[in-house]
Amino acid sequence: MNRINELFASNGDRRILSIYFTAGYPALDSTLAIAETLEKAGADFLEIGFPYSDPVADGPVIQHSSEVALRNGMTLQRLFEQLSNLRKHVSIPVLLMGYVNPVLQYGVERFCQSCSDVGVDGVIVPDLPMYEYEELYRPVFETNGLSNIFLVTPQTSEARIRKIDELSNGFIYLLSSSATTGKNLSVSERTEAYFSRIQAMQLKNPVVIGFGISDRGTFLRATDYADGAIVGSAFVKLLGEADYMERIPEFIRQLKD
C-alpha cells in the first residue's frame, strides 16, 4: 500500500479534499512551499501539474498557469530537482498530473524512477492510452510503487469503467462533465443520474470527482456521490493574487469546515 491507498483505507466517512496546482506557478520556486502550506492547512492529498504547451483539456485559468510556468523555466527535470526534499516537508499523498508528451520526451522508465526517488505516489496522464499503459508501461509503474489514475467521463461505457477499475490501484478520477477545467459544477438530473450510475457499479477503487469543484457547496455535492473531490482552477486562480500564501489556510478552511 502506498500513501494513496492508506489515505482512503483510513478515511471512514470523511470527505477527502484534493488540491491541484501547477508546478512553477506563480513563481518557478514556489512549488514545494505551496505543497507544504496546503498540507498544514488541511488538504488531504495534492496533485501537482507539470506544464505543457498544449493543454487541450484545461480551461483558461490552468492554461494561463502553464504558460507562466513554462516562461518561468519549469521542466520535468527541474520539477524533480525541486521535489528532491518533498518528503522532508510533506507527508500526505502527492500525485503528478500532466500530458503524455513531456513524459515520453523525458522517458517513461526514467519518469517513473524519478517519481519513486522523490516520493511521488501516483500519476495522472489523461492522454496515455489505456492499452499502452496495460501492454507497455504497467510493470514500470508498479515496480516504482506508482498508482496510475484513469479518468472516467459521462460518456465512458460500463465495460471500459470495469476495465479501468481492474487496472487501477489508487482511485478513479470521475470527471463531472466533458467540458474543460474551470466550469462550475452544475448537478442537474443528468449529472445526478451519471454519479448514481457510478455509485451503483460498486467499484473496488475509491472514486474522486473533479472539474467544477470551486467552493464548499460544490465540494459537498460532489462528495455526496464520491469519496473525495478535487479543487483545481479555483485554487490556481488564488495563486495569481499577491498575498496567496497567507490566504491558503482560509481557502482550505472554507472548503472543509
CA distance 123 to 222: 22
Q: Does 224 qualify as catalytic in the annotation?
A: no
Residue of 47, 81, 135, 158 marked catalytic: 47
Q: At what angle do helices 216-223 and 244-256 cross, to 10 degrees?
A: 40
Q: How far out from the chain centre does Cα 195 lie?
A: 19
Strand locations in 111-185 (E): 122-124, 147-149, 151-152, 172-175
> 225 is written with which cell numbers?
456521490
- Could you identify the residue written with the cell 460518456? 155
Residue of 6, 36, 39, 58 marked catalytic: 58
Q: Does 192 qualify as catalytic in the annotation?
A: no
Strand-pair partners of 8: none
User: Alpha carbon of 91 to those of 6, 38, 74, 85: distances in Å?
Assistant: 12, 11, 24, 11
Furthest-apart CA atoms within the chain: distance in Å? 47
- Please give the positions annotated as active site: 47, 58
